[in-house]
Amino acid sequence: MALTCIQHCQRCTSLLRSRSVGITTLQYSTDAQHWPAALWNSFIVPVLPSLLQRSPNPSQTRQRWNLGVRSYCESHAKVQPSQTKHRNTDELPGTDMVSYQNPVSHQLIDGGMLLKEWQTAFDLDDAPGHSALEEISHEEAVRMDIPAALPPVSISLKDYVNESETLGKLVQLGVQLWKLEQRPNVGSMLLRLDFQTDVTPRLVFLKQLGVEDSRLGYLISHNPFILTESLENLQARVAYLRSKKFSAESVASMVSRAPYLLNFSVKRMDNRLGFYQQQLGLSAQKTRDVVARLPRLLCGSLETVKENLKICKLEMGFRENELQHIVTVIPKVLTANKRKLTQIFDYIHNTMNIPHDLIVKFPQVLNAKYLRIKERHLFLQYLDKAQYDPAKPNYICLDKLVSLPDEAFCTEVASATLKDFELFQKTM
Amino acid sequence: MARPSVRVFHKLEGLFSIYKPPGVHWKLVRDTIETNLLKGINAAPPPAPRQRVQFLAESTSVVAEGSNELTLSAASVPALAHHPLGEALHIHIGVGVGHRLDVFSSGVLVLGVGQSNKALTDLYRSHVTRDYTLEGELGMATDNFSHTGRLIERTTYDHITRDKLERVLAMMQGSNQKALLTYSKVDMSTQGAYELAVKGELRPDGKSPPIMTGLRLLHFQPPHFTLEVQCLNETQRYLCRILHEVGLELRSTAVCKGVRRTRDGPFTIQHALTHQHWTSPDVIQAIRQYRSSRKASKAKHTQPGKDTGTASQRQEMAEEAAVTGDSHRLHSVLTSKAFGS
């Protein structure tokens, strides 16, 4: 195994000596992965002093940055010949070394390395040109470009954000990296992205769609995978939504409110739209309205929606047309928590004795908080004002019961002070 | 020099009481308040982004091959690692709960923030009593002693009068008083014990089962009745059981329809925050109030000769002591070091 290693080294050295600054793809066997880490270390150390003599170049630092998370041995690889596939290397002066780019990056944790990345140019037969203890002049020392001591593996993106262009620009956009780094693999994925080729086209696409600048940060914080979705797919999905006669503004608002929307395939979206239209029995325009108001209907699972519909029909006993009306006014009923929905309905129908048709007239009560309805109803009952039948005098509108803020409710509906209401709350 | 968020942290050191509504788990309440306090802290204006110094070499065009001069320029670059948009300033703050309330009950719940959690443990080790209002209904018996449980038995209750109920309550109070005397481990034949008992300051020494120090009938309209209880070391389930036993003593049955804690040590229902006031500014105000009341009571207790100025003040103090019976205990706790400055 060591023999093949040496042969590879010699090949590297010869390439290096010939100063080929072009595209070189060297095919290596993958058995290098099994090489013990100690072996790597012993090869690389003597190389370093000879490779340190080079002029500093900030753009090199930037390009070098595009590596992503690497093992420590690889940081030495920065001063090794490159395997540039599509980066330009023209700005490099005529030095021995070119910057190291590896477009295919791997997260290596325990120092194991793929041979592709190990391109030490040294020949075991050559004596090293410079030793580490050699004295160099002050100017040379200053000219030396020491790569940033970035930790090879880190649990936080804080260590890399100062160096990485992508992360820096994302932070300035308002992306909450502290949330994203907690998700598995997302941090490494973001580090590997290149700002110019990956991120910028997608941001431009979203802007052209109509998503506002202030929402871009929110979008990426919730769905970082939009930056890895292919542009053709994104365009196809938007074209599909437009073909279903969603206006441009509604598509923009749907995308900004449901960050995962464009990651779903056309087939899945089509399936869901068909389901809603068929199950609810609504016209195309009304379905469009419902979906535009609650875009996450297209993202989540259909099972919960089916269960909610069953509960509304069987447990609560709403008829088809009543259900249609409720859903067009409050689409959230389709994704509400079943337990809370039944609790509220039980209280409204059985304790407050409100009939179905009144509930259908004011579906907002199903969206309100249970505690709020209970407290306000008991307060009105205490004041002998709990009368919800429109036919009788002193009728209290359910809409006002639920949607008014506390002060307005106390003064208008209950004709009491806020203090009285708070004192009553403490007797519950 | 301190960041605005750190200043808000300092304002939050203290104890405060909230009114827990029925049907909510106490943990949810504590989590909601912690989230609201964190929102308040993070809403403080973030500090200016920190700068870091990066050394950049001069461009290569300046440096000729033969030149010996090489200068580095220092540039101050913002450190993005601590950019306000990319970092959550605070994601955890310690909010501790005093004596817990179960889902069924409601009432005063004492919470402490940060360092004051130590004061919380001290407060409860000092055997402060708690006041409850229990609402009961005669004629039913359920498996968990409350009206939400599975019904086991129905009985008649026409024979029950107010008089009989009060006799049963007096009997229960008597047995509890005996238990208190046994657990307080004082020698009954001493003068000191007598004085403590007269003032109502007898307390159990160490661990004890739930003891009711006061029991009173507030309201009786069959089948509904309301009791007021002052107790130590209790749980809400125990109180529901008390109601059940009251029903059994009256040769009928009773269930508990509501347990409401009206006082928890020195924290009364008057200053408890209702759920619309569980926000950062209201909590800060409640803590400020608590701190000032603590300072006032400290001043009162450290100047015994001076404060007996007006007769009304003395009466007020005596009333307080009689009702709560905790003034001595409270004084020792409030002036202890754990409460801080």
Residues of B belonging to the active site: 102
CB–CB contacts below 8 A, A to B? 73
Residues paired with residue B225 on neighbouring β-strands, in sequence order: B136, B220
Beta carbons within 10 angstroms of residue A311's beta carbon: 17
Cα–Cα distance list, B110 to A175, A180, B96, B98, B113 (Å): 38, 36, 9, 5, 10
CB contact under 8 A, B88 and A56: no
DSSP characters over A207-269: HHHT--HHHHHHHHHH-GGGGTS-HHHHHHHHHHHHHTT--HHHHHHHHHHSTTGGGS-HHHH
Q: For residue A112, is pLDDT > 70?
A: no
Q: For residue A62, is pLDDT > 60?
A: no
- pLDDT confidence of A31, banded at 50, 70, 90? very low
On chain B, the residues whose CB falls within 8 A of the CB of A159 are 81
Q: pTM of the predicted model, to two decimals?
A: 0.71
Mean pLDDT for A82-88 is 39
Q: For residue A97, is pLDDT > 50?
A: no
| Amino acid at position B113, single letter | V
pLDDT at position B51 is 74
Distance CA A426, CA A34 (A): 70
**For testing the chain B interface, which of A55, A158, A374, A379 should be mutated: the one with the most B CBs within 10 Å?**
A158
CB contact under 8 A, A426 and B81: no
CA of A4 vs chain B CAs: smallest distance (Å)? 40
Q: For residue A64, is pLDDT > 50?
A: no
Q: For residue A127, is pLDDT > 70?
A: no
The set of residues, in sequence order, having a beta carbon less than 8 Å from that of B91 and lying 6+ positions away, is B38
Tens-digit pLDDT profile for residues A403-420: 999 999 999 888 899 999
pLDDT at position B47 is 67
More confident residue, B308 or A342: A342
Instruction: Residue A55: name the closest of B75, B54, B74, B63 by CA.
Output: B63
Lowest mean pLDDT among A9-23, A308-322, A352-366: A9-23
pLDDT at position B69 is 54
pLDDT at position B2 is 55
CA of B236 vs chain A CAs: smallest distance (Å)? 16
Q: Which residue has the tokens 């009432």?
A: B107
Cα–Cα distance list, B145 to A320, A376, A427, B133, B140 (Å): 42, 28, 21, 16, 9
On chain B, the residues whose CB falls within 8 A of the CB of A176 are 85-86, 88
pLDDT at position A122 is 58
User: From first to last of its 341 residues, what are the pLDDT tens digits of chain B?
Assistant: 456 677 777 777 888 999 999 989 999 999 999 999 888 888 777 666 677 777 666 544 444 444 445 566 666 666 666 665 555 566 678 888 888 899 999 999 999 988 888 888 888 777 888 999 999 999 999 999 998 889 999 999 999 999 999 999 999 999 998 888 888 888 888 888 888 888 877 888 777 788 998 999 999 998 899 999 999 888 899 999 999 999 999 999 999 999 999 998 889 999 899 999 998 889 989 988 888 888 888 888 776 544 444 444 444 443 444 444 454 455 554 444 444 43
- pLDDT confidence of A76, banded at 50, 70, 90? very low
The set of residues, in sequence order, having a beta carbon less than 8 Å from that of B236 and lying 6+ positions away, is B101, B102, B104, B105, B259
**For testing the chain B interface, which of A57, A142, A164, A171 should be mutated: the one with the most B CBs within 10 Å?**
A171
pLDDT at position B81 is 61
Q: For residue A401, is pLDDT > 70?
A: yes
CB contact under 8 A, B19 and A177: no
Tens-digit pLDDT profile for residues A262-298: 999 999 999 999 999 888 888 889 999 999 999 989 8
What stretch of H or E contains B123?
A: helix B116-125
pLDDT at position A421 is 92
Q: Give whichever of A34-38, A183-187, A347-351, B319-323 has the largest mean pLDDT.
A: A347-351
Across all residues in chain A, what is the average pLDDT?
75
What sign results for the dihedral spanned by CA atoms A363, A364, A369, A373?
A: negative
What stretch of H or E contains B76?
A: strand B72-78
More confident residue, B205 or A189: A189
Helix axes A213-222, A165-173, angle to 10 degrees: 120
pLDDT at position A346 is 93
Please tell me what DSSP assigns to residue A368: S
More confident residue, A79 or A182: A182
Cα nearest neighbour of A425 on chain B? B274
pLDDT at position B143 is 92
Tens-digit pLDDT profile for residues A203-238: 999 999 888 888 898 999 999 898 888 999 999 999
On chain B, the residues whose CB falls within 8 A of the CB of A162 are 52, 77, 79-81
Interchain CB contact of B106 with A (< 8 Å): yes
On chain B, the residues whose CB falls within 8 A of the CB of A428 are 21-22, 106, 260
- pLDDT confidence of A70, banded at 50, 70, 90? very low
Distance CA A124, CA A10 (A): 8
pLDDT at position B78 is 66
The set of residues, in sequence order, having a beta carbon less than 8 Å from that of A58 and lying 6+ positions away, is B56, B57
pLDDT at position B250 is 92
On chain B, the residues whose CB falls within 8 A of the CB of A410 are none
pLDDT at position B85 is 55
What stretch of H or E contains B36?
A: helix B26-42
**B46 preceded by cis ω (within 30°)?**
no
More confident residue, A373 or A88: A373
CA of A86 vs chain B CAs: smallest distance (Å)? 25
| Nearest neighbour of A161 by CB, restricted to B57, B81, B272 | B81
